[in-house]
């Protein structure tokens, strides 16, 4: 997103409340001036249904050996997809919300899991910026997951704020964890020739460094039905350029400068259309809505007001299935 710890993607003006996030720590609401802000972001969905009980196996005939047939595999919970995840910070009922939304995975911009998140969703650690590249933080990430997300919006001056060269110099330390490794997640311009990500991937390849997938952020300022196609075009352009799997680790409809949000019905329509599209793209391995909780008393892009109360967007996101 945008400010030195802000969850926002581009520089915003006239914002009063900001959601801050920093390396290896949860987000929190703070006062802000003309800095990038998300004045109330959240996302989530519909009540979960219990898995259906397996159909009893027929009783063997008398002439059949009395061997017990293998039990059928358990059915996945309703609304659950291995791709579907969320970004989140700590809030009341975070564990209940993660379970209710049927998220397969989550991350929190830090190296360790969120307190109270529970075990219903896989935690994916992140090395937020240069200050997080320490032995202690890297070991924490290594112990917390099997996949590691790279730097958060290094192309943004108020986020990780690294040049491609600086990020490349630090990369071997992330690679040494042995975890599956995602690229730094740029705020924009992922498919731009000579852009931040293009320079980083070119440099990594020339140095023989490992990048297992591309992490991206995307926020749509067009609140019409065209937004789904715009997101798809961006993802396709990035994939065509690097030919690596993609994780879309932050996305929603949000217009910057000043921050403006779509109506609930527009956000719901985008969730329904975008998730169907993301599920259909084989090169998109995972996606995460921004974010699980609401903020500053507004629904904005948030999915849950608390652990058990989804917003309209949250109900739509909860209903997403493979």
Nearest CA to 249 out of 200, 291, 210 is that of 291
pLDDT-derived band of residue 1, with 50, 70 and 90 as boundaries? Answer: low
DSSP result, 141-180: HHHH-SEEB--B-TTSTTTT---HHHHHHHHHHHHTT-SE
Position 321 scores a pLDDT of: 81
Structure tokens of 55?
């159909």
- Span 52-67, pLDDT tens digits: 333 333 333 333 333 3
Q: At 251, is the secondary structure helix, strand, or coil?
A: strand
pLDDT-derived band of residue 271, with 50, 70 and 90 as boundaries? Answer: very high
The per-residue pLDDT of the chain, averaged, comes to 81
DSSP result, 87-105: E----TTHHHHHHHTT-SE
Buried b (16+ CB within 10 A) or exposed e, 275-309: bebbbebeebbbbbbbbbbbbbebbbbbbbbebee
pLDDT-derived band of residue 173, with 50, 70 and 90 as boundaries? Answer: very high
pLDDT-derived band of residue 80, with 50, 70 and 90 as boundaries? Answer: low
When pLDDT is averaged across residues 49-53 and rounded to a whole number, the result is 30
When pLDDT is averaged across residues 246-258 and rounded to a whole number, the result is 96
Q: Is the pLDDT of residue 136 over 80?
A: yes
Q: Report the top-level CATH class of 39-47+78-318.
A: alpha beta
Weakest mean pLDDT among 73-82, 101-110, 296-305: 73-82
Position 314 scores a pLDDT of: 98
Nearest CA to 270 out of 309, 238, 312 is that of 312
pLDDT-derived band of residue 143, with 50, 70 and 90 as boundaries? Answer: very high
Phi, psi for 295 (deg, rounded to 5): -145, 150
Position 145 scores a pLDDT of: 98
Position 16 scores a pLDDT of: 31
> Which sequence spans correspond to the domains of the chain?
39-47+78-318
């Amino acid at each position: 997103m945008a400010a030195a710890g802000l969850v926002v993607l581009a520089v915003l003006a006239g914002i009063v409340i900001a959601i801050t996030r920093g390396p290896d720590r949860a987000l929190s609401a703070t006062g802000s001036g003309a800095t990038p802000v998300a004045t109330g972001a959240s996302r989530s969905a519909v009540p979960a249904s219990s898995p259906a009980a397996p159909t009893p196996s027929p009783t063997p005939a008398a002439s059949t050996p009395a061997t017990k047939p293998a039990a059928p595999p358990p059915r996945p919970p309703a609304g659950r997809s291995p791709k579907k995840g969320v970004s989140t910070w700590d809030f009341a009922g975070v564990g209940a919300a993660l379970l209710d939304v049927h998220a397969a995975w989550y991350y929190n911009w830090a190296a360790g899991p969120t307190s109270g998140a529970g075990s219903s969703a896989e935690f994916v650690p992140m090395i937020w910026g240069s200050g997080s590249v320490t032995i202690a933080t890297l070991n924490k990430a290594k112990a917390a997951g099997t996949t590691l997300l790279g730097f958060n919006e290094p192309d943004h001056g108020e986020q990780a704020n690294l040049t491609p060269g600086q990020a490349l110099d630090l990369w071997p330390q992330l690679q040494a964890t042995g975890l599956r490794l995602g690229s730094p997640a740029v705020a924009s311009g992922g498919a731009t020739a000579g852009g931040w990500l293009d320079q980083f991937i070119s440099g990594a390849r020339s140095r023989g460094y490992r990048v297992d997938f591309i992490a991206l952020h995307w926020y749509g300022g067009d609140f019409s039905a065209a937004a789904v196609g715009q997101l798809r075009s961006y993802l396709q352009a990035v994939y065509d350029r690097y030919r690596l799997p993609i994780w879309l680790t932050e996305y929603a409809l949000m217009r910057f400068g000043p921050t403006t949000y779509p109506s609930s019905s527009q956000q719901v329509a985008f969730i329904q259309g975008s998730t169907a599209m993301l599920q259909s793209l084989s090169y998109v391995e995972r996606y995460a809505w921004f974010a699980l909780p609401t903020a500053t008393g507004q629904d904005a892009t948030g999915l849950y007001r608390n652990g058990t109360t989804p917003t309209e967007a949250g109900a739509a996101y909860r209903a997403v299935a493979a």
